[in-house]
Amino acid sequence: MGNPTGFKEVERHLPPDRAPAERIGDWQDFHGHAGEEQLRSQASRCMDCGTPFCHTGAGRADTRQTVGCPLNNLVPEWNDLVYRGLWQDALHRLHKTNNFPEFTGKVCPAPCESACVLAINEPAVTIKNTEWSIIERGFDEGWVRAQPPPARTGKRVAVVGSGPAGLACADQLNKVGHTVTVYERADRIGGLLMYGIPNMKLEKHLVDRRVQLMREEGVEFRAGVEVGRDLSGADLRAQNDAVVLCCGATNPRDLPIPGRELDGVHQAVGYLTVNMRWLLDGAHGRPRIDAAGKDVLVIGGGDTGTDCVGTAMRQGCRSLTQIEIVPQFPAALPWPEFGRTSTPDYGQEEAAAAFGADPRRYSVTAQRFIGDAAGRVRKVHLVDVEWNGAPKPVAGSERAVPAGLVLLSMGFLGPESLLLDELRIDRDDRSNAAAEYGRFTTNVEGVFAAGDIRRGASLVVWAIMEGRGAARECDRYLMGSTLLP
């Protein structure tokens, strides 16, 4: 490494975020940005550790855990290049493993930092912030530009779904000369990146910028086309030499308790989608699902729950409570474990700043929703639970809390069934498309599956990795061999 003692001499430092009271007044990015001197100094903290666990995430590829980077990003290499001021070389190293560092640099929970060897007894290297800075420098300097393939193979591939897995798959297949068409049922390209993640967490011009670059390189995008309804699966197969399903795991877990039918009880992703579409369409009037002036209850946590909290804060909710049926998470995890901790995310920070306390309540569940004469939710009956293998209500802990908007953020059960049924794709025991990891082939000849539809709901970084892997195997199927990584 260029500075082998940097980790001893430099403390971890990130540019401060905008204050919660300021940032909840708009929908813009709230992260601060570091100057070049600070970025190079922080990159010097990357140790000559010999065993960089930060980029060994593929060793846990078919588990539900993530330790290190699933994309095998060459973190020590591009950290050293940034320290030396060789930004264009750092960008080249970054793009070798990651098609979209502008997305992971914003929304990835950075399992690479959890696996950083320095984190055994010191704060980890600022890997995520450096990653973001490299790609933005690349765009600013004009180093990132369209590079169409020099020749076409004559093979046509359809990619169904334009989320991170679909985009990564399409990008890789296009690079080796296949003619790729991406189908998206929503009105805009981007899938989860466009409608499932709020603007303040991932500004949409970043998605549009990358999609436009892919268009210039020859990828065709067809928005507003739902395969299985607007275009049959049979026609799709007949028109293409191969099909890759990257449709996601979009079937949300519901909460079938009394009062579920009341107006004001919504699935979290539906709420985020409505708000994002309202914002992209010009933010005229108020969004169709609006937290303004309401007592908001978010049921469930994770990234989606946090995004609901942050969105409700910006819409001007009157109060906000977030409940989790599980016990409170640990404050921290020992190196190199990666998982949920009780450290507040941006949404909880904002609610705490506005209302004086962390909005999260653990070991709590909802028993029923209570509405008014017009059928609108007004209260939720809650109860504490204790765990003994399964949650058990605690007698005497029942209480009612006011709620004019309830958001269900309890994860996903798997992919929707329409297209899988039409194509007669086999399922695994969790209802996902059955496709072996590493091969991504389904039981149907020439049809591949990648991302959440194969793996279950997961991280953007996993989706990109799966899309790249499916592209490799699809190329091998089409051409007999492949040069794709």
**167 falls in which pLDDT band (50, 70, 90)?**
very high
Q: Tell which residue, 224, 234, 153, 154, has the closest CA to residue 194.
A: 224
**Average pLDDT value for residue range 96-101:** 97
Between 48 and 322, the higher pLDDT residue: 322
The pLDDT of residue 31 is above 60? yes
| Rounded distance between C-alpha atoms, residue 466 and residue 244, angstroms | 11
| Each residue's pLDDT tens digit, 173-222 | 999 999 999 999 999 999 999 999 999 999 999 999 999 999 999 999 99
The pLDDT of residue 92 is above 50? yes
274's CB contacts (< 8 A; 6+ apart) are: 287, 288, 289
Q: Tell me what the pLDDT averaged over the chain comes to.
A: 95
The pLDDT of residue 264 is above 50? yes
Name residue 4's amino acid. Answer: P
pLDDT value for 269? 96
pLDDT value for 341? 87
Give the distance from CA 13 to its chain's centroid: 25
pLDDT value for 16? 95
| Rounded distance between C-alpha atoms, residue 455 and residue 430, angstroms | 9
64's CB contacts (< 8 A; 6+ apart) are: 456
**Average pLDDT value for residue range 445-462:** 96
Give the distance from CA 364 to its chain's centroid: 26
pLDDT value for 62? 46
59's CB contacts (< 8 A; 6+ apart) are: 67, 68
| Rounded distance between C-alpha atoms, residue 240 and residue 170, angstroms | 14
The pLDDT of residue 64 is above 60? no
**Average pLDDT value for residue range 141-163:** 98
* Pairing of the two strands 360-361 and 319-323: parallel
Q: Tell which residue, 369, 381, 208, has the closest CA to residue 280.
A: 208
The pLDDT of residue 61 is above 60? no
Q: Tell which residue, 430, 370, 433, has the closest CA to residue 399.
A: 370
- Joined together, the tokens standing for residue 469 give 């892997």
pLDDT value for 336? 78
166 contacts 152 by C-beta, under 8 angstroms: no
pLDDT value for 1? 66
Segment holding 451, helix H or strand E:
none
| Each residue's pLDDT tens digit, 269-280 | 999 999 999 999
The pLDDT of residue 327 is above 90? yes
Contacts 24+ apart (CB under 8 A), 474-479: 474/157, 474/169, 474/173, 474/242, 474/244, 474/440, 474/448, 475/172, 475/173, 475/176, 475/178, 477/242, 477/441, 477/446, 477/448, 478/153, 478/155, 478/157, 478/178, 478/241, 478/242, 479/153, 479/155, 479/176
Could you give all domains of the chain from N- to C-terminal order, each with its CATH number?
A: 6-141 (1.10.1060.10), 156-250+413-479 (3.50.50.60), 254-410 (3.50.50.60)
The pLDDT of residue 60 is above 50? no
Q: Tell which residue, 236, 269, 293, has the closest CA to residue 422.
A: 236
Helix/strand/coil for 366: strand
pLDDT value for 389? 87
* Residue 376 DSSP one-character state: B
Percentage with pLDDT > 90 across the chain: 91
Specify the pTM: 0.95
Dump the DSSP string for 248-290: ---EE-----TTTTSBTEEEHHHHHHHHHHHHHTT--S--SS-
* The residue count for the chain: 485
263 contacts 376 by C-beta, under 8 angstroms: yes
Between 332 and 1, the higher pLDDT residue: 332
CA dihedral 226, 228, 229, 232 (to 10 degrees): 110
Segment holding 22, helix H or strand E:
helix 20-23
| Rounded distance between C-alpha atoms, residue 260 and residue 46, angstroms | 51
248 contacts 192 by C-beta, under 8 angstroms: yes
Segment holding 323, helix H or strand E:
strand 319-323
**51 falls in which pLDDT band (50, 70, 90)?**
confident
| Each residue's pLDDT tens digit, 281-322 | 999 999 999 999 999 999 998 999 999 999 999 999 999 999
Helix/strand/coil for 89: helix
pLDDT value for 144? 98
Segment holding 156, helix H or strand E:
strand 156-160
**Average pLDDT value for residue range 72-78:** 94
Residue 428: CB atoms within 10 Å: 13
**Average pLDDT value for residue range 402-427:** 96
